[in-house]
Chains A and B, each alone.
Chain A
Amino acid sequence: MSKYVGQRIKRTEDPRLIKGLAHYVDDIRLPDTLHVVFVRSLYAHARINGVDASDALKAPGVVAVYTGKDVAEKIGPVPCASALPDLKVPDYRVLATDKALFVGHPIAAIVATDKYVARDAVDLVSVEYEELPAVVDVEDAAKGGTVIHEKFGHNVAYKLTSGEGDIEAALNSADRIVTQKMIHQRLAPIAMETRGVLARYFPGEEELTIWSSTQIPHLLRTQLALMIGIPENKLRVITPEVGGGFGSKLNVYAEEALLGWISMQLGKPAKWIETRRENFQSTIHGRAQVGTVEIGCKNDGTITGLRYNVFADLGAYHQLLTPAIPTLTGLMLSGAYKIPAIQMNVTGVFTNKMATDAYRGAGRPEATYVVERAMDLVAKELKMDPVELRRKNFPKSDEFPFHTATGLDYDSGNYEAALDKALDLSGYQKLREEQKQVRANGKLIGIGMSSYVEICALGPSQAMPAGGWESATVRIEPTGKVTIMTGASPHGQGQETSFAQIAADELGVDLNDVTVIHGDTAIVQYGIGTFGSRATAVGGTAVLVAIQKLKEKAAKIAAHMLQADSSRLIFEAGRYSLQAATAAGVSEPVVPVGQAPAGALLEPATEGKSSLTIQEIALAAHVAKEIPPDTEPGLSATYFFEPKNFTFPFGTHICVVEIDKETGETKFLRYVAVDDCGKVINPLLVDGQVHGGIVQSIGQALYEEVVYDEQGQLVTGELMDYALPKASQVPWFETDRTETPSPVNPLGVKGVGEAGTIGATPAIVNAIVDALSPYGVKHVDMPVRPEAVWKLISEA
């Protein structure tokens, strides 16, 4: 058994966080910092006939006010990295120029010496609006009416058909077809730390540093360099502590470019910290699909085909991945099942709202919800147990790699094993019997399940807009300390610990001798970032392979120092030993780790030794007196790992709810989750990811919804109006795992960051529908609020 990998190791990043000593963007203080506050559109759709900042500029402490006209020619557009056929891409300027297209659209930036002064000055800027009709409903917008971007002539950004197999024939061959319209409501990601940017320009050195709360420091650097027009090697992006992302910080935002540009104009540091209200208005939203599923089945339960026609509410502009998110939905419409023909027809539509983009799960929760709700509808139609219907349509464990009619090849899987474990853990049969009894007493108990598959470890570069690989540099310093630099900069996932676990095991060193550095483009080699449940599968593998490269060199040096052929060396517990001499006594390290004497580095004495620690070799490699003549000094290695496929984690969640007839409230009685994320590096962190993901699913299923009214006003503009799940509203999770290694990477890991948000939502809604089935209810849309349930009961 490994010393670290697979163990519940508590996190090395925690002490600074629990003591309040960590540094998020707003905790970084630079002298003479100017504060930036934005004037944002009050209207969803309005012509801007003028912006008068003269009063604001007179206010003491106000340094500058920039409007759309000031920057339109200076800063490039907010980028969209999605490439789809005939995609309409609007020109997205960092400040609105002649039209405001959503509530919160930035119109002017106020710069002041104090943040209270800057905020006061917002009220002194007068914007002359001419209100236009707002485009709010996605289906209406697709049909016609008011056009948001006049040059396109309509509001359709793109139409795309995806899938394989003859869908018409497949549906025609079905004994029955079940059709259901489903709404995936618009959600706000709500990282607890809002976005924030601090920019500092040194005019002499011509260097700009941007601290930003982002998931993608390197991609951000590239894009901001292009937007601002500064050489990329003069721009440094630092992501300090990042207080959650969930996809909302997997983007390039107008404010990031503006802050950099403002600091360059004024030669002083400039800071903007997003308010929660701004976060609701102008940080990306997620989901927002309205679709209809048709699923065909034989009378014995065999699924023949699935079609999903969907309108995707894209918002007013494309952010980085906006149009691409629904395509991920299309990829995952086979779910955990053998479905011979699948088709998705998506219409991406502009509306006067904030852009949608990747929110935890990013297109896959929608697919899983569609498939898992559809499976329950089919089970109901055929009067089959939902478990047996699912089991019947699973690919068997020997059918992997399994090709789907969405064009994917699932890497590995054993769906029945996870299902069976979840059935055992929940006591499914007994639950059904109990349900019968309590139903007889008039109680509304529902049992819901979901057998999900997700697509993770994004991904092969061929399938990604800007590279799907990940990088790592591993270096052993002269004192034997290990430094890892990863391009997968985390924001809560715990890579400082999990990557150190991988390294400590591979190098045979103590976990505390390993430091993981991330999130600084001046220090860390180019990387892609943390999103799409990719960090461990892709970034962790890069760490592993970089270490293996480093060890090849270390072995060469060890052989030279021990005057032996490298084939005679074995590496064990951090030590290279001569095979014949392993039992002949182990020597003390010459310079114990952490106790190196002051002054010049000592030359390791190898005389008469039969083994060397890798840390002794690191010292020798730096002193460079005893290394082979054809070997470079130093001991470090860099690896860029390019995965050949995605990974496909899976699992079964089972949920038991009780609905209060009088109030319509849903209460959780049980929640069982069996997830298979391949090999596990740290079970403690995996549990944390699963719990957090399920609670975000509970949020979608029961509470959360971004609401724009008919005028496009954002009704849910604060946490007072947008309900996040509280500690008292969520159940105790009973979790377990099966472990099917992925063949895609040498670690065998698949990824787990989004499993809970993908697998749980349909389990919860299926349970609610099951509870309401005595009233003939077949479907209910999310969020399933008490009043909606109460109405269904009252009207039945």
Chain B
Amino acid sequence: MKQAISINVNGVDHHDEIEPRLLLVHYLRDLLGLTGTHIGCETSICGACTVLLDGQAVKSCTMFAVQADGANITTIEGLAANGQLHPVQEGFWEHHGLQCGYCTPGMIIAATQIIDRNPNPSRDEIRHGLEGNLCRCTGYQHIVEAVEYAAKKAAG
């Protein structure tokens, strides 16, 4: 029995009829074609699927799309505004905060939330804020530097 949902993703309204068991990440990737959000573990440990749902970082691999009915979602594709990279994206580029790039969209989304909540985070606070996101390549140090860069940049 399909269910109707209305979701705003990256500023665009979508109205779809979907199966209640469809995961949010599959809705974003398979129905909307937004493949920047990745799946790394299906158990909400790795954070590769992190998106912003009404401003909160959530793991879209363990949430049903119907639970996001009426929500505003931002995915990695929606982060850059008017062709300008988000400061966190810029920081990841400047500080080599990525290697294979697979965890990167989720990492970047999680990092935006860290800075939203705490505009001047310490290194320990950044590391704590990234606990829900696993990276197997970078060893995290360049990611921490990337977030520091972004916090400074966002503060002007």
Whether chain B is bound by chain A comes out as yes
- CB <8 Å contact, B128 and A728: yes
- CB <8 Å contact, B48 and A192: yes
- CB <8 Å contact, B131 and A18: no
- CB <8 Å contact, A17 and B98: yes
Residue of A11, A190, A726 ringed by the most chain B CB atoms within 10 A: A726
- CB <8 Å contact, B96 and A193: no
Bound: A242/B137 CA distance, A: 12
Is B56 close to A, CB under 8 A?
A: no
| Residue on B nearest A688 in the bound complex, by CB | B96
- CB <8 Å contact, A18 and B134: no
| Residue on B nearest A720 in the bound complex, by CB | B43
| Residue on A nearest B132 in the bound complex, by CB | A726
Q: Given A14-B98, A243-B101, A728-B130, does the pair A20, B136 have CB atoms closer than 8 Å?
A: no
- CB <8 Å contact, B92 and A18: yes
Within 32-82 of A, Cβ neighbours of B (below 8 Å) are at: none
Q: Mark B22-53, 1 if CB is under 8 A from A, else 0.
A: 10000001000111111111110110100000
Within 81-104 of B, Cβ neighbours of A (below 8 Å) are at: 85, 89, 92-94, 96, 98-104
- CB <8 Å contact, B102 and A21: no
Within 261-315 of A, Cβ neighbours of B (below 8 Å) are at: 273, 275-277
Is A692 close to B, CB under 8 A?
A: yes
Select one of B75, B85, B123, B139 contacting A18, CB under 8 A: B85
Q: Which residues of B contact A750 (CB under 8 A)?
A: none
| Residue on B nearest A189 in the bound complex, by CB | B136
| Residue on A nearest B35 in the bound complex, by CB | A27
Q: Given A241-B101, A691-B139, does the pair A728, B45 have CB atoms closer than 8 Å?
A: no
Q: Which residues of A contact B103 (CB under 8 A)?
A: 192
- CB <8 Å contact, A246 and B45: no
Select one of B89, B100, B134, B135 contacting A242, CB under 8 A: B100
Select one of A24, A26, A246, A688 contacting B142, CB under 8 A: A688
Is A532 close to B, CB under 8 A?
A: no
Q: Mark B123-156, 1 if CB is under 8 A from A, else 0.
A: 1101110110111111111111000000000000
Q: Mark A463-486, 1 if CB is under 8 A from B, else 0.
A: 000000000000000000000000
Number of cross-chain contacts by CB at 8 Å: 174
- CB <8 Å contact, B46 and A192: yes
- Count of B residues near A, CB < 8 Å? 57
Is A775 close to B, CB under 8 A?
A: no
Is A90 close to B, CB under 8 A?
A: no
Bound: A26/B37 CA distance, A: 11
Is B4 close to A, CB under 8 A?
A: no
- CB <8 Å contact, A494 and B41: no
Bound: A273/B41 CA distance, A: 12
Q: Which residues of A contact B29 (CB under 8 A)?
A: 26-27
Bound: A14/B98 CA distance, A: 8
B144 to chain A, nearest CB (A): 7
| Residue on B nearest A21 in the bound complex, by CB | B36
Select one of A191, A684, A727, A733 contacting B100, CB under 8 A: A191
A238 to chain B, nearest CB (A): 16
Bound: A194/B136 CA distance, A: 12
- CB <8 Å contact, B96 and A20: no
Q: Which residues of A contact B73 (CB under 8 A)?
A: none
Select one of A14, A244, A493, A726 contacting B92, CB under 8 A: A14
- CB <8 Å contact, A491 and B40: no
B77 to chain A, nearest CB (A): 5
| Residue on A nearest B147 in the bound complex, by CB | A727
- CB <8 Å contact, B100 and A726: no
Q: Which residues of A contact B127 (CB under 8 A)?
A: 726-728
Is A730 close to B, CB under 8 A?
A: yes
Q: Which residues of A contact B139 (CB under 8 A)?
A: 688, 690-695, 730, 733, 756
A445 to chain B, nearest CB (A): 20
Q: Which residues of A contact B41 (CB under 8 A)?
A: 276, 718-719
Within 1-21 of A, Cβ neighbours of B (below 8 Å) are at: 10-11, 13-15, 17-21
Is A739 close to B, CB under 8 A?
A: no
Q: Mark A187-216, 1 if CB is under 8 A from B, else 0.
A: 000111110000000000000000000000
Bound: A696/B138 CA distance, A: 10
Bound: A13/B98 CA distance, A: 10
Q: Which residues of B contact A13 (CB under 8 A)?
A: 101
Q: Which residues of A contact B36 (CB under 8 A)?
A: 19-22
Q: Given A14-B98, A492-B101, A728-B127, does the pair A192, B140 have CB atoms closer than 8 Å?
A: no
- CB <8 Å contact, B102 and A243: yes
Is B66 close to A, CB under 8 A?
A: no
- CB <8 Å contact, B138 and A20: no
- CB <8 Å contact, A26 and B137: no
Is A724 close to B, CB under 8 A?
A: yes
Bound: A116/B64 CA distance, A: 14
- CB <8 Å contact, A728 and B131: yes
Residue of B35, B37, B45, B139 ringed by the most chain A CB atoms within 10 A: B139
| Residue on A nearest B94 in the bound complex, by CB | A10
- CB <8 Å contact, B89 and A18: yes
Within 661-711 of A, Cβ neighbours of B (below 8 Å) are at: 684-685, 687-688, 690-696
Bound: A692/B103 CA distance, A: 14
B155 to chain A, nearest CB (A): 21
Q: Which residues of A contact B45 (CB under 8 A)?
A: 718-720
- CB <8 Å contact, A687 and B96: yes
Q: Which residues of A contact B94 (CB under 8 A)?
A: 10
Select one of B38, B89, B142 contacting A243, CB under 8 A: B38
Bound: A594/B34 CA distance, A: 32
Bound: A104/B102 CA distance, A: 25
Across the A-B interface, give the 5 residue pairs with the lowest CB-CB distance, nearest first.
A20-B36, A243-B102, A691-B139, A492-B100, A20-B76
Given A18-B89, A244-B100, 13 additional A-B pairs, CB 8 A: A14-B101, A18-B76, A20-B75, A116-B19, A192-B48, A243-B100, A688-B99, A691-B142, A718-B45, A726-B131, A727-B131, A730-B139, A732-B123
Pairs A–B under 8 Å by Cβ, sample size 5:
A13-B101, A14-B98, A192-B136, A276-B41, A691-B138
B-side interface residues toward A, CB under 8 Å? 19, 21-22, 29, 33-43, 45-46, 48, 75-77, 79-80, 85, 89, 92-94, 96, 98-105, 108, 123-124, 126-128, 130-131, 133-144
A-side interface residues toward B, CB under 8 Å? 10-11, 13-15, 17-24, 26-27, 29, 116, 190-194, 241-246, 273, 275-277, 491-494, 684-685, 687-688, 690-696, 718-720, 724, 726-728, 730, 732-733, 756
